[in-house]
A and B are shown apart, each in its own frame.
Chain A
Amino acid sequence: MEEVEKCVNCGFCESVCPTFPASGYISSFGARGRVDLGKYLIKESLKKNPVDLNIADSFYSCLSCNACVVVCPAGVNAGKVSLIARKVITEGNYVSRSNEQPVAKMIVNSIMKYYNPLGLRKKCSKWAKDLEFDSRSETILYTGNMFQLMPYSKSLASIKKKVGKRNTDRFARLLASWPLLIKLASNLYDRDLAIRMEKSLKGIVMLLKKSGVSFGYLREDEPYPGTFLFELGYEQEFREYANKVYGMFKSRGIKQVITVDPHTYDIMKNEYPKVIKEFNIKVLHYLELVKTDIFRKTEETITYHEPCHFSRSETPFNSPVELLANLSDLRMPAFNGRATYCCGGPDDLIYTDLANSVSDARSEQLRATGASKVITSCPICFTNLNKYSSVAELSEFLEGLLI
């Protein structure tokens, strides 16, 4: 209620919301439209017989990219409105639970049961089977399974495209009621992408080791951080889950985690402390530990796609821009810094067409810089932008510059 009642409907947020143009300019898929629907929902909820609105697509398609909140003069966060609305939907309070996204429900069930959105924790540790870590260290490398999951989600999204939305939803409903079936998903796998993702993770390990950092890795015990639960509005589940993950870390004496992607970084740094009493694990991004004098400079012209969860995080993380500007001829795209443009990735699994349209728009902005290479520092951004130009993951690029 408080979030939407400050809104005067000026439309500033709509002008930067990536899903608005991507939807063909349908207002209910834009930031202002989401806030308007939120207001309507509140009004209806006060009535005896509220109208059952079909609002799921509007709120679930929000990318949680926070572009809207940066420009809202009244400080309204349309992304947060979507989060709250999803929560309302998942709790089935004001609108019928039929609005609950079946694919979302499936993933939630899996996370709660297997500590992994697709029930694939073992497979997610395979990349490191030949690597050695310091098992006694109080610092761990925490991948959050994000790089490892990308090859699966890409396959799921392409299957979804083939079978159409209705069939995927049916499939998802079936899986949701029987989480074991989720493991079937392990057959859906994009091999080329898996190779790139493994390479990135190994690159990160290499950069840290070259910088003299010693750390452990939980291998197949490593849990997913619960980002999906948070972003899909499963507040209660997220709280419960985050506490379980934290308890697991604490029981192993872990004092510091080195994250490798913006989503895990942002959620651990900014959301865990809100739901965990006396949270006292230090959250770092690997670049904070990597020394800068281990790289040579290059004349290559590159552009860097800043992830939303770095640039617009409560604790913005800009080290990649600074490092890349030092090492190369860096040309930033038109939308950069706090105004960075989402890659569309968060919509890839559920709203694939929308995600494609957002990533087309972003790719065009990156292409317009004239750079020969696009650098990303997030596995989701990499996967979503990799379709068009020459895209490299940050660690892959940096590894190539090691002296």
Chain B
Amino acid sequence: MKIVSELEKISPGNVLTSKENKIPYLRDASYYTGEFPAAVVIPRNTSELSRIMKFCYENDVQVVLRGGGSSLTGSSIPNEECILLSLSRFDKIIEVRVDDNYVIAEAGVRLDFLNDELSKFNYFYPPDPASSRVSTVGGTLATNAGGLHGVMYGVTKNWVLGMEVVLPNGEIVQLGGPTLKRSMGYDLAALMIGSEGTLGIITKAILRILPKPECSGRILAYYRLIEDAGKAVSELKNKGIIPLMAEFLDRISMDSIKQVKDIDYPQGSEYMLLVDIASSVESLSRHLELAAEILRKFDPVNVRITTDAKEMQKMYDARKGLYSSILSQRNSKSDYVIIGDVVVPSSETAGTLKDIQKSIEKHNLQVALFGHIGDGNIHTNIFADVENNEKMVVVEDFQNEVGMIAVKHRGSVSAEHGIGLEKKGLLLREFQQRHTEGTLEVMKIIKNCVDPKNILNRGKMFDL
């Protein structure tokens, strides 16, 4: 095949064409399965990557990018007309500048690896998706990933100063730079964030970093009613307490971590809050007690404080692995987990959760709820046999309804997982609901300008 032999010339030894080598690239962490791409290419460096893109642009070859392959919306799966470009070899941390508060890392660096390195300087990079063990700098920028620390630190876009990008035609451009301020026309680095591999290939990024909090402790609070849990978190904020992390888990989720990690919960609990408070050594226990006092006001089953590092780590790991372990709670062996991801302003969380509960009952689905309650981000984990079309119609209807519930509560159909293949319809519906269809048109115009041949991640996010 001409494409393969040409690619092999540009990136010798790095072009995979056999069926068995392609199989692992057909899936990301969503329930979608892609088609066999013409080839999988794992380029060594930016100049090789640029030459590959030049060739693909000139020959109308579609390109799908893959970082850690942990996307939950099918945004990194290939089709049979594309080549799949893996960024795994872009695995170096180039520079740590504690004095200037930034780190430069290549796109394939996994977030946990980045933070392991930064912790040697007692610094850290705040965006902390539950997938941080596997997700990469490039992938998290391309999806504007959020995570467990979003309530205090926001999402990826708040932490990006600049990046190097290879455009669809192979040109290499530098966007932004290492300074904390920069006012020089359109913020093109910002444009790349959340672009899901449709505008350019991020090869390295300049990321803001912070000194680690001196110490933190955790409050475990258990409730019977979801409204109480939601109100408790809102009240924390009303009282000026911004947690380092505020997560919630429902009973299916609690059962899952009980089963896989042996972490029990008090009888009668239907919902659990994990609230981390950062502070100084001297004032940690006072701050924890203050927050616990507020959480106790909302009729909890139990509220407990822990500062035991081992216990905290175990619970944190269990929360991070929840999406993967929750499958253990399915009722039927043919079920898989389809994870939803909506967001509302924090004060609307309680009302939104109540509406979602009603929708679950209406659709008669088994759904586990957990999420980053501190920033109003709710994940609905639907158990369903993805090959059962009838069931999937119900699932889709439920997803649409939940999306619209979020929009009704001033929120959005996608909080942090992006659009990919899964939410193309919902993206349009949100804009329609908010009477701003023009926003989608602007996106399409931008896509057309930057990638006029539509070779990058075609068919993801929206159709042209």
Q: What is A's interface to B at a CB cutoff of 8 Å? A: 5-6, 8-12, 14-16, 21, 24-28, 30, 32-33, 36-37, 40, 51, 53-55, 58, 71-75, 334
- From the candidates A11, A51, A73, name the one contacting B325 in the complex (CB within 8 A): A73
**A residues less than 8 Å from B108 (CB atoms):** 25
Main secondary structure, interface of A, reads: loop
In the complex, are the beta carbons of A11 and B29 less than 8 A apart?
yes
**B residues less than 8 Å from A51 (CB atoms):** 19
Whether, in the assembled complex, B203 has its beta carbon less than 8 Å from a beta carbon of chain A, the answer is no
- From the candidates B21, B110, B318, name the one contacting A15 in the complex (CB within 8 A): B110
**A residues less than 8 Å from B68 (CB atoms):** 11, 15
B237 nearest CB across to chain A (Å): 30
In the complex, are the beta carbons of A10 and B70 less than 8 A apart?
yes
B336 nearest CB across to chain A (Å): 8
Q: How far is B322's CA from A12's CA once the two chains are assembled, in angstroms? A: 12
**A residues less than 8 Å from B336 (CB atoms):** 8
In the complex, are the beta carbons of B20 and A10 less than 8 A apart?
no
In the complex, are the beta carbons of A58 and B20 less than 8 A apart?
yes
In the complex, are the beta carbons of B24 and A8 less than 8 A apart?
no
In the complex, are the beta carbons of A6 and B23 less than 8 A apart?
no
**A residues less than 8 Å from B328 (CB atoms):** 6, 74-75
In the complex, are the beta carbons of B23 and A36 less than 8 A apart?
yes
Q: How far is B134's CA from A30's CA once the two chains are assembled, in angstroms? A: 13
**B residues less than 8 Å from A71 (CB atoms):** 133
**A residues less than 8 Å from B364 (CB atoms):** none
Output the nearest chain B residue to A55 by Cβ-Cβ distance.
B20
A340 nearest CB across to chain B (Å): 15
The answer to whether A73 and B321 touch (CB under 8 A), given A6-B328, A21-B91, A32-B24, is yes
**A residues less than 8 Å from B28 (CB atoms):** 9
In the complex, are the beta carbons of B24 and A28 less than 8 A apart?
yes
Q: How far is B28's CA from A345's CA once the two chains are assembled, in angstroms? A: 31
26 contacts between A and B (CB under 8 A): A5-B333, A8-B323, A9-B28, A10-B29, A10-B321, A10-B323, A10-B324, A11-B29, A11-B134, A14-B69, A15-B110, A16-B133, A24-B42, A25-B91, A28-B23, A28-B24, A33-B24, A51-B19, A53-B19, A54-B18, A73-B260, A73-B318, A73-B320, A73-B322, A74-B260, A74-B327
- From the candidates A12, A54, A73, A74, name the one contacting B20 in the complex (CB within 8 A): A54
**B residues less than 8 Å from A25 (CB atoms):** 42, 86, 88-89, 91, 108
In the complex, are the beta carbons of B24 and A30 less than 8 A apart?
yes
Whether, in the assembled complex, B451 has its beta carbon less than 8 Å from a beta carbon of chain A, the answer is no
Which B residues between 316 and 348 are near A, CB-CB below 8 angstroms? 317-318, 320-325, 327-328, 333, 336-337
A98 nearest CB across to chain B (Å): 14
In the complex, are the beta carbons of A11 and B112 less than 8 A apart?
no
The answer to whether A73 and B86 touch (CB under 8 A), given A27-B25, A33-B24, A58-B20, is no
In the complex, are the beta carbons of B23 and A40 less than 8 A apart?
yes
The answer to whether A72 and B21 touch (CB under 8 A), given A9-B27, A10-B29, is no
B39 nearest CB across to chain A (Å): 13
Q: How far is B134's CA from A184's CA once the two chains are assembled, in angstroms? A: 47
Q: How far is B134's CA from A16's CA once the two chains are assembled, in angstroms? A: 9
Q: How far is B29's CA from A74's CA once the two chains are assembled, in angstroms? A: 13
**B residues less than 8 Å from A15 (CB atoms):** 68, 110, 112, 133-134
Q: How far is B13's CA from A26's CA once the two chains are assembled, in angstroms? A: 11
The answer to whether A24 and B23 touch (CB under 8 A), given A8-B324, A8-B337, A11-B69, is no
B130 nearest CB across to chain A (Å): 9
In the complex, are the beta carbons of B42 and A26 less than 8 A apart?
yes
- From the candidates B25, B69, B116, B327, name the one contacting A8 in the complex (CB within 8 A): B327
Q: How far is B29's CA from A14's CA once the two chains are assembled, in angstroms? A: 12
Q: How far is B21's CA from A295's CA once the two chains are assembled, in angstroms? A: 52
Q: What 3 pairs between A and B have smallest CB-CB spacing?
A: A73-B321, A25-B88, A33-B24
Main secondary structure, interface of B, reads: mixed
In the complex, are the beta carbons of B133 and A12 less than 8 A apart?
yes
Which B residues between 72 and 112 are near A, CB-CB below 8 angstroms? 86, 88-89, 91, 108, 110, 112
Q: How far is B214's CA from A205's CA once the two chains are assembled, in angstroms? A: 50
Whether, in the assembled complex, B400 has its beta carbon less than 8 Å from a beta carbon of chain A, the answer is no
Q: How far is B133's CA from A15's CA once the two chains are assembled, in angstroms? A: 7
- From the candidates A8, A28, A30, name the one contacting B29 in the complex (CB within 8 A): A8
Whether, in the assembled complex, B131 has its beta carbon less than 8 Å from a beta carbon of chain A, the answer is yes
**A residues less than 8 Å from B322 (CB atoms):** 73
Given A11-B70, A37-B20, 5 extra CB contacts under 8 A = A10-B321, A58-B20, A73-B323, A75-B325, A75-B328
Whether, in the assembled complex, B46 has its beta carbon less than 8 Å from a beta carbon of chain A, the answer is no
**A residues less than 8 Å from B86 (CB atoms):** 25, 27
Output the nearest chain A residue to B256 by Cβ-Cβ distance.
A73
Contact with A along B16-57 (1 / 0, CB 8 A): 101111011111110000000000101000000000000000
In the complex, are the beta carbons of A36 and B27 less than 8 A apart?
yes
Whether, in the assembled complex, B279 has its beta carbon less than 8 Å from a beta carbon of chain A, the answer is no
**B residues less than 8 Å from A9 (CB atoms):** 27-29, 69
**B residues less than 8 Å from A21 (CB atoms):** 91
**B residues less than 8 Å from A37 (CB atoms):** 20, 23-24
Which of A10, A16, A54 gathers most chain B CB within 10 Å? A10
**A residues less than 8 Å from B285 (CB atoms):** none
Q: How far is B434's CA from A152's CA once the two chains are assembled, in angstroms? A: 73
Output the nearest chain A residue to B16 by Cβ-Cβ distance.
A26
Q: How far is B324's CA from A51's CA once the two chains are assembled, in angstroms? A: 29
Q: How far is B68's CA from A14's CA once the two chains are assembled, in angstroms? A: 9
Q: How far is B134's CA from A8's CA once the two chains are assembled, in angstroms? A: 13
Q: How far is B23's CA from A14's CA once the two chains are assembled, in angstroms? A: 15
In the complex, are the beta carbons of A72 and B324 less than 8 A apart?
yes
A235 nearest CB across to chain B (Å): 23
**B residues less than 8 Å from A53 (CB atoms):** 19-20, 23
**B residues less than 8 Å from A10 (CB atoms):** 29, 70, 131, 134, 321, 323-324
In the complex, are the beta carbons of B321 and A12 less than 8 A apart?
yes
Whether, in the assembled complex, B359 has its beta carbon less than 8 Å from a beta carbon of chain A, the answer is no
In the complex, are the beta carbons of A73 and B18 less than 8 A apart?
no
Whether, in the assembled complex, B366 has its beta carbon less than 8 Å from a beta carbon of chain A, the answer is no
Which of A25, A54, A55, A334 gathers most chain B CB within 10 Å? A25
Whether, in the assembled complex, B14 has its beta carbon less than 8 Å from a beta carbon of chain A, the answer is yes
**B residues less than 8 Å from A73 (CB atoms):** 260, 317-318, 320-325
**A residues less than 8 Å from B134 (CB atoms):** 10-12, 14-15
Output the nearest chain A residue to B334 by Cβ-Cβ distance.
A5
Contact with A along B133-146 (1 / 0, CB 8 A): 11000000000000
A281 nearest CB across to chain B (Å): 31
Q: How far is B25's CA from A32's CA once the two chains are assembled, in angstroms? A: 10
**B residues less than 8 Å from A32 (CB atoms):** 24, 69
Which of A5, A21, A75 gathers most chain B CB within 10 Å? A75
Q: How far is B320's CA from A205's CA once the two chains are assembled, in angstroms? A: 47
Which B residues between 266 and 324 are near A, CB-CB below 8 angstroms? 317-318, 320-324
Q: How far is B324's CA from A73's CA once the two chains are assembled, in angstroms? A: 6
**A residues less than 8 Å from B18 (CB atoms):** 54
**A residues less than 8 Å from B320 (CB atoms):** 73
In the complex, are the beta carbons of A28 and B325 less than 8 A apart?
no
**A residues less than 8 Å from B110 (CB atoms):** 15
B249 nearest CB across to chain A (Å): 14
In the complex, are the beta carbons of A28 and B20 less than 8 A apart?
yes
**A residues less than 8 Å from B26 (CB atoms):** 36
Q: How far is B318's CA from A88's CA once the two chains are assembled, in angstroms? A: 33
In the complex, are the beta carbons of B20 and A75 less than 8 A apart?
no
A256 nearest CB across to chain B (Å): 33
Which of A11, A15, A16, A71 gathers most chain B CB within 10 Å? A11
